[in-house]
């Protein structure tokens, strides 16, 4: 009896020890345990190249790649966004995610704490300069002496240009911009628009922005290469191996090349020149459809025509870099959620009818904005960007004492600032990074063309 009791006590002791171990480490966090979960938790940052929301859909170069890997392993993806690289590393080590899908610099410091994996990226800083007739482009860093270079204050670009200036014996005219209001992508736009002559950017950011501004040159390297990659915890070697194997095979695949092309090669501008043609009181062959569906909402059909012109130049076959289709450039997921099948997205009547349905829903969302003209600006902005980014801009306007029911000079200011981490990381923002200058321009252009159509065409 004593012997049996001893065996029971020993069994209970061993069981409690094993149970205790499981409690301390409930998940192994290797590839097999992730597969059992059926979901890969991905840590990343908001940015124009990593992850963002566009017209309500998740997008981003890094996002699409990690999603592609997850699908190859039969996994769903869950995205968790951090505020900065330091926070990404901290969250990974705490087990709040399985992988960092963001380009983490490969440094001796971090090598002891992280296991790098996936597609290795070589980044370097480049000079952004404007291409102009009869203007000689700079092709050597020594030519920067005497030039006005604009960079964000307290950034790696400031560090690099100061070091380069010292190496060259001085003479570079360095202008530091307040990074709370001006970021690198703003400086690139200023170069493209002729407001400044030179700025610095990482080559991947420069490549992406060149798809928006084809008059910029980004060929002059001004820094040493920096290696970067994704990362997992040091106790996740199997996950790292799987990602490395996938990356090696994936870089040769048509799908990878298509993703690369969409983000870094395809122009984000309209493929058709802006040429207006109004003949015999007609804006386009789709005027009867604009009239039919605008009337159902009590809207001026000429406004919808102006919107369609800026969306597609009245070309039903247009597909944007992001996948939006048809006259009114509707995203496939948005189409499906509004009862429009993929095969019918480019059907002119169904496309217009669905666009009006989307805008009617947006009008209900902004019903508290009493002025109908102001309300339409919010509707147009939301149609272009997705309502989430406009709601964020409204929240920021409220926080900083602006009128949340007025667009120009109020909410519009904050849609522009949604590309700045100082603002999109604000606690009142729920939808992260957004390239707001496009939406700002879209609202202005649509309304300007609407006024033109009103002056030329009878209602």
Q: Which residues are catalytic?
A: 311
User: What is the largest distance, in Å, between two alpha-carbon atoms of the chain?
Assistant: 108
**Cβ atoms of residues 77 and 70 within 8 Å:** yes
Q: How far is residue 285's CA from residue 294's CA, in Å, rounded to a whole number? A: 16
Q: How far is residue 128's CA from residue 7's CA, in Å, rounded to a whole number? A: 76
Q: Tell me the β-bridge partners of 221.
A: 126
Nearest-CA neighbor of 355 among 340, 343, 372, 368? 340
Residue recorded with tokens 């530091």: 176
**Cβ atoms of residues 44 and 82 within 8 Å:** yes
Side-chain-facing half-sphere of 27: CA atoms under 13 Å: 15
Element (H, E) at 354: helix 348-365
Tell me the two tokens of residue 79: 């995205």
Say which residues have a Cβ less than 8 Å from residue 219's Cβ, sequence separation at least 6.
126, 137, 139
Tell me the two tokens of residue 254: 């048509």
Q: What angle do CA 268, 321, 408 make, to 5 degrees?
A: 50
User: What SS3 state is found at 148?
Assistant: strand
Residue recorded with tokens 């969302």: 365
Q: How far is residue 149's CA from residue 172's CA, in Å, rounded to a whole number? A: 7
Q: How far is residue 449's CA from residue 8's CA, in Å, rounded to a whole number? A: 85
Helical residues (DSSP H) of 366-403, grouped into ranges: 372-385, 387-399
Q: Tell me the β-bridge partners of 100.
A: 43, 231
Say which residues have a Cβ less than 8 Å from residue 260's Cβ, sequence separation at least 6.
61
**Cβ atoms of residues 68 and 10 within 8 Å:** no
Q: How far is residue 337's CA from residue 135's CA, in Å, rounded to a whole number? A: 50
């Amino acid at each position: 009896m004593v012997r049996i009791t001893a065996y029971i006590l020993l069994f209970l002791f061993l069981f409690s020890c094993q149970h205790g171990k499981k409690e301390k480490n409930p998940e192994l966090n290797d590839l097999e345990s992730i597969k059992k979960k059926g979901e890969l938790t991905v840590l990343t940052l908001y940015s124009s190249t990593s992850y963002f929301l566009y017209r309500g859909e998740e997008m981003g170069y890094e996002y699409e790649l990690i999603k592609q890997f997850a699908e190859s392993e039969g996994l769903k993806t869950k995205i968790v966004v951090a505020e900065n690289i330091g926070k990404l590393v901290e969250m990974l080590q705490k087990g709040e995610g399985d992988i960092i899908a963001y380009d983490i610099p490969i440094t001796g410091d971090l090598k002891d704490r992280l296991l790098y994996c996936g597609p290795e990226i070589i980044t370097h800083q480049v000079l952004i300069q404007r291409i102009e007739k009869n203007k000689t482009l700079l092709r050597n860093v020594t030519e920067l002496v005497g030039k006005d270079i604009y960079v964000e204050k307290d950034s790696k670009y400031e560090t690099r240009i100061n070091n380069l200036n010292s190496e060259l014996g001085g003479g570079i005219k360095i202008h530091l911009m307040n990074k709370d209001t001006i970021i690198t992508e703003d400086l690139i736009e200023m170069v493209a628009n002729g407001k400044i002559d030179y700025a610095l950017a990482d080559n991947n950011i420069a490549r992406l922005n060149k798809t928006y501004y084809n008059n910029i040159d980004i060929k002059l390297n001004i820094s040493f290469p920096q290696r970067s990659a994704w990362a997992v915890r040091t106790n996740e070697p199997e996950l790292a191996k799987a990602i490395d194997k996938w990356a090696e095979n994936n870089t040769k695949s048509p799908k990878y090349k298509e993703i690369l092309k969409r983000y870094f090669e395809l122009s984000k501008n309209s493929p058709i020149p802006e040429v207006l043609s109004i003949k015999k009181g007609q804006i386009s062959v789709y005027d009867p459809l604009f009239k039919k569906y605008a009337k159902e909402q009590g809207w001026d059909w000429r406004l919808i025509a102006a919107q369609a012109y800026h969306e597609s130049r009245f070309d039903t076959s247009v597909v944007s870099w992001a996948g939006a289709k048809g006259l009114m450039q509707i995203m496939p997921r948005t189409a499906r959620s509004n009862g429009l099948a993929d095969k019918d997205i480019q059907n002119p009547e169904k496309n217009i009818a669905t666009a009006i349905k989307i805008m009617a829903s947006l009008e209900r969302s902004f019903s508290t904005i009493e002025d109908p003209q102001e309300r339409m600006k919010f509707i147009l902005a939301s149609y272009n960007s997705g309502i989430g980014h406009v709601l964020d801009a409204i929240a920021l306007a409220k926080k900083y004492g602006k009128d949340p029911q007025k667009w120009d000079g109020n909410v519009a200011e904050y849609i522009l600032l949604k590309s700045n981490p100082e603002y999109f990381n604000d606690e009142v923002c729920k939808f992260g990074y957004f390239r707001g200058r496009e939406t700002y321009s879209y609202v202005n252009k649509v309304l300007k063309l609407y006024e033109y159509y009103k002056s030329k065409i009878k209602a």
